[in-house]
Structure 1
Amino acid sequence: MPRYYAEYVSYLKLKSGDRPINRFIIPMTCFCDIKLHQIAFHAEGNDKYNGYGKFAIIMKKEWGVRQGFQPIHYVTSGSLLQKQFTKSFNLYLEAIDNDTTNQLLDDIADILLEQIRFMKPLFGEMPKGDELISNKNFTDEKEWRFVPDIPDKVARIFYIDPLDGIETSRKAIETANDAIALVKPARLPFQVSDVKYIFVDSEDDAVDLTKFIMKLKGNKRIILF
């Protein structure tokens, strides 16, 4: 189920008037395309990074492709790509501020907004719970992302901090997450045959999970959300 998640975009140097844009808050579900020999680091972490935990469901990549997953585009701060993107996006924000937008600019902005939903810096800040991890190497995650295609009148496709004001507060985002949970097009259905591996922490966990799966053995078709 997609959740609204804050992406810090200071590396893009976007601004509306004299206000820098700090975050885009985007509904998404994220997966990592991690090689098996690298799993231990991502599960356990190290002295600087706590890791994601020792339980995981590994899906077949072809399932993600069918669902419309997209690998993240990692952007180097200061690169020509970043500078051109920043210039284009800021020109559109300036047109909004001056009320001089037109259909062509709106169409170009749609392309830029779609790109920003699948962009991350090589290094940056990552919120995790109540803490903010600094200088995180995002390329380690090899992230693939699902961003639901939902009408804006059903659920917001993004929020911009600070332009959307109080709507970007933690409480407001929690409310938005409760709402998007009810939006059927935002869900990611899968069948048991789409699962490649299941990782657990201990042998006891494996035994318990095996018993649970065996109870479901008689079901010819199990669809999960």
Structure 2
Amino acid sequence: MLRFCDINLHKLSMHVDGLFGNNDGYGEYGLGLDKKYCEEKGLQLVSYLNGKASQTEMLRLVFNQGLDLMDKGKLDETNEDLYDFIITQVSQSKPL
């Protein structure tokens, strides 16, 4: 999975390698792109979720409701796009 983070280039090595070079970063490579270019092309930054925020709780609730619909075989074409959106939000999110 690719994530687009708003990281200043001078701080990129810390995020790639991890703090103090202890290999707990994002991976071996980092790619710098112009923020305005990314915005114009419709790229979305990763969302950071605060575990104490009401929005995070709401996302958790609707995600679980979607899972319940799937378990009951009630996920159909009328609500599939909505649940696809929720899955995308969760997949592009990271704990704060």
Shift of 1:66: 3.6
Letter in 1 for 2:35: K
Q: 1:150-161 alignment to 2 at 5 Å? A: none
Letter in 1 for 2:79: L
Question: Which string of whole-angstrom CA distances, capped at 9 and with x for unpartnered residues, describes residues 49-72 of structure 1?
Answer: 33556x755332233234331111
Letter in 2 for 1:29: L
User: 1:86 pairs with 23, 41, 60, which one?
Assistant: 60
Task: Give the 3 Å change call, closer, same or farther, for CA 102–66 of structure 1 in structure 2.
Answer: same
1:161 corresponds to which residue?
none
Question: Which string of whole-angstrom CA distances, capped at 9 and with x for unpartnered residues, describes residues 87-126 of structure 1?
Answer: 111112111111223433323212212212321111xxxx
Letter in 2 for 1:64: C
Question: Which string of whole-angstrom CA distances, capped at 9 and with x for unpartnered residues, describes residues 107-163 of structure 1?
Answer: 3212212212321111xxxxxxxxxxxxxxxxxxxxxxxxxxxxxxxxxxxxxxxxx
Q: 1:106 aligned to 2:80? A: yes
Task: Give the 3 Å change call, closer, same or farther, for CA 56–108 of structure 1 in structure 2.
Answer: closer
Greater strand percent: which structure? 1
Aligned residues: 93
Task: Give the 3 Å change call, closer, same or farther, for CA 91–46 of structure 1 in structure 2.
Answer: same
Rg (Cα) greater in structure: 1
Letter in 2 for 1:85: L
Quick one: percent identity of the two aligned structures? 26
Q: 1:54-133 alignment to 2 at 5 Å? A: 57-122=31-96
Distance 2:30 2:44 in 1: 20
Task: Give the 3 Å change call, closer, same or farther, for CA 36–29 of structure 1 in structure 2.
Answer: closer
TM-score by length of 2: 0.67
Shift of 1:74: 0.6
Structure 1: which 5+ runs fail to align? 1-27, 123-225
Partner SS state of residue 115, structure 1:
helix
TM-score by length of 1: 0.34
